[in-house]
Amino acid sequence: MRKILTLITALPLLACSPAGDKADTGETIARDAGVGNGPTGRVGAPVSRGADKGPIPENIDEGIEPSANTSANEAAPVAKPTSIPDQFHGRWGLTANDCKAEYASAAKGLMVVNDSRLTFYESRGTLDRIDAWTPANRFTANYGFSGEGMTWERVITLERNGSKLRRTEKGGEEGPIDLTYTACPAS
């Protein structure tokens, strides 16, 4: 009975004692396995629990090489274009006749896109400022237009979906514009 009372009295003391014995066992196992050079198997100076570690240094990643096992979903960032992207270049017609050479003089629905310009029947818009883009299919920019003795500015978004090109505009007296063109066949 006396042994049981001693054991019952000692249990609360064991429960409140630090986990040093268990940590020592883990540390011994780690040290014997050759993990690290410290008592806990960690490399470097020990840090006491609750110590003020200070702010994370800005150069914390300096000298660390990126992993060769980068995920396929982690594509490298795409640089902002400095001109109208290639996928929007070409001749685009609102109707099939806008693309035909025999109707070229009356092709009021033809839009020609190159590196820095949108050319329409009676006006030309020169790329001024790129506002936003989605590398795969969307490009928004500000253009300075001239035509019929006048000049103006427009924000135009080009959005490509296969052989279709949607042009939306903001600004201007005529209000918003939303037109869909079809790629003209190569001549």
The full set of domain ranges for the chain reads 2-32, 86-183
Residue 66 near residue 136 (C-beta atoms within 8 A): no
Nearest to residue 159, comparing CAs of 186, 143, 178?
178
**What pLDDT band is residue 3 in, cutting at 50, 70 and 90?**
low
Residue with token string 């020609």: 112
Of 157 and 31, the one with more pLDDT: 157
Judged by DSSP in three states, 133 sits in strand
How far is 154 from 170, CA to CA, in rounded Å? 6
Of 17 and 148, the one with more pLDDT: 148
pLDDT digits (tens, 9 = 90+) for 26-48: 444 444 555 455 444 445 555 44
77 has a pLDDT exceeding 70: no
How far is 172 from 178, CA to CA, in rounded Å? 13
The pLDDT of residue 72 is 47
96-130 as b/e: b if 16+ CB within 10 A: eebbeeebeeebebbbebeeeebbeeebebebeeb
Over residues 124-136, the mean pLDDT reads: 90
Length of the chain: 187
Over residues 120-147, the mean pLDDT reads: 92
Per the DSSP assignment, residues forming a β-bridge with 143 are 127, 154
The pLDDT of residue 153 is 92
The pLDDT of residue 102 is 79
> Is CATH 3.30.70 correct for 86-183?
no
Residue 147 near residue 122 (C-beta atoms within 8 A): yes
Is 84 exposed, middle or buried, given 0-12, 13-18 or 19+ CB atoms closer than 10 A?
buried
